[in-house]
Structure 1
């Protein structure tokens, strides 16, 4: 940790950083890391903010706006942030500019930003006379964004795999029927996921069997929002077979068809095209290949209260023959996919269990 002087007790800083980490968990995983911020007022109280996803205000301006609304004197406050403030122009202005404009005298950081395009904020603040302390709750901040950090390090998009299935893990009945295993609430959730992603990926088998559009469409209750107003993800097909020339995807000029069986090379290709978050919707072979290669950063299971017995599974063979080799996942809190339905689907959001550190 830097040996910079602090204006408030260290215990208060740690408590505020814990509050910032809790706020960060309210965000959306994807192209951007989960980031939270907490402003410690002169009386020791903390006000938090978080980044809600790509294109929205970052955690720092969200917390600053809340502090201003509460009448807090920012020139006598400390800002705690779980990730180094950005110093570049992206979808939003640099957070370092706003911090300097407010006159906040001290900033405490959990971890540095590994993204070269966004790094450098701490140094800029120091050069402007702001006291900067780093490393407070660093391990917790890095654990929070472990898979995002992995994707950045591997120079590939963050990968979300979505599977809609029955209680016994079937995505279709024995005769192939699958519409609809899950509910309207689940399908609305899928369109929300698509709108957040830069690209939606399917394998050639799914493309040929279902003729999907892979567009994000507004929910019926949001009829005032037209499809044209939604930022549409890029449709991507992975696989060696050709598309039906009359299909929706073949007719869409934006469709990218990657003729490869190597999931890593496909992801690296998409990263070079500026696609930072991809949503994989099928099929079983593609999803299984991604899991086998440890390329899935987030798994969304939409589970219907339904048993199908024989049927199609959502993941192809993972090559696992013994229990000890099973791939374990960590789940966010379980939640229903509808508050009003008598028998709602269940949503599970999971991340791979982090690999043990050396010596553990």
Structure 2
């Protein structure tokens, strides 16, 4: 195993070993929210354009992190802009775990193209069958889009919407029912905002958080005002924000990677 892999694994094992026994035995899906950002907290360029915000070392760490989760979730914006594969291809083949993470796309109106890499990889036998979560509301174009995606190999789940967005709690309930015990959420901005907002709203006394761990990679660069950022819930009072516990910070190449846990309020 390479020194780069050793460094990434040491960091991730330190982060995930900190999960409490209570979380390890929980009856819900454990969620890791992770993304790369610039120094000015931008995660994409103008109009959602993909930016290279991870150096080779931090990118390898991300692929090792993928291998430690049952599934990886992105939004339709990321699926359209980046056409991701959501696999572990950067891990050296000799060390790569045989278990692949399940690719999941939140796609309310079923806009995922049938020639995307997620479906192509599945049809070619080099990726798991992608799951799509869409709105349970009826739209005129939904029926034909559903048939086309099903024929292309997708599995589709219907969930209700809340305030115009797919219900994150309902998505997580369905994922747990389907056997997904650990979920890695990679973005983009709309998904990050939705999970952060939902975690804040669920942060009642003794209530389990929606997000368990947040891992943010920060690249030493500025993007500027035209870039796409994210919001932390929108709370106006600091005491209402989710309680965080720093877990680990490490330098991966030229990037800084920080991990925190979201705590239950006592």
User: Same fold, TM exceeding 0.5?
Assistant: yes
Equivalent residue in structure 2 for 1:293, among 198, 203, 220 = 198
Of 323, 330, 333, which residue of structure 1 is paired with 2:248?
333
CA distance 1:177–1:257, change in 2 (3 Å): closer
Distance 1:147 1:188, change over 3 A: farther
The one of 298, 304, 309 equivalent to 2:219 is 304
Structure 1 stretches lacking a partner, 5+ long: 1-24, 36-143, 339-343
**Gaps in structure 2 of 5+ consecutive residues:** 1-11, 124-128, 135-158, 160-165, 200-209
Aligned residues: 207
What's the TM-score once normalised by structure 2's chain length? 0.70
Aligned residue for 1:171, secondary structure, equals coil
Relative contact order: is structure 1 or structure 2 higher (C-alpha 8 Å, sep ≥ 6)?
Answer: 2
Matched, 1:347 2:265: no
Task: Give the 3-state SS of the residue equivalent to 1:293 in structure 2.
Answer: helix
Considering only aligned residues, what root-mean-square deviation do their CA atoms show, in Å? 2.5
Separation in 2, partners of 1:257, 1:316:
25
Three-state SS of the structure 2 residue aligned to 1:235 is strand
Aligned-residue offset at 1:27: 4.8
Task: Provide the residue aligned with 2:8 in structure 1.
Answer: none
Contact 1:147 1:297 in 2 (8 A): no
Give the C-alpha shift of residue 168 in structure 1: 1.4
Aligned: 1:167 with 2:42: no
Higher Rg: 1
Q: Tell me, yes or no, if structure 1 residue 278 matches structure 2 residue 188.
A: no
Q: Does 1:238 align with 2:110?
A: no
Q: 1:204 aligns with which of 76, 100, 112?
A: 76
CA contact (8 A) 1:216 1:230 kept: no
**Distance in structure 2 (CA, Å) of the matches to 1:250 and 1:213:** 9
Contact 2:50 2:81 in 1 (8 A): no
Deviation at 1:173, TM superposition (A): 2.8
Q: What is the CA distance between 1:322 and its match in structure 2?
A: 3.6
Q: How does 1:93-112 map to 2 (within 5 A)?
A: none
Shift of 1:300: 0.4
Give how far 1:208 is off. Answer: 1.5
| Correspondence for 1:184 | 56
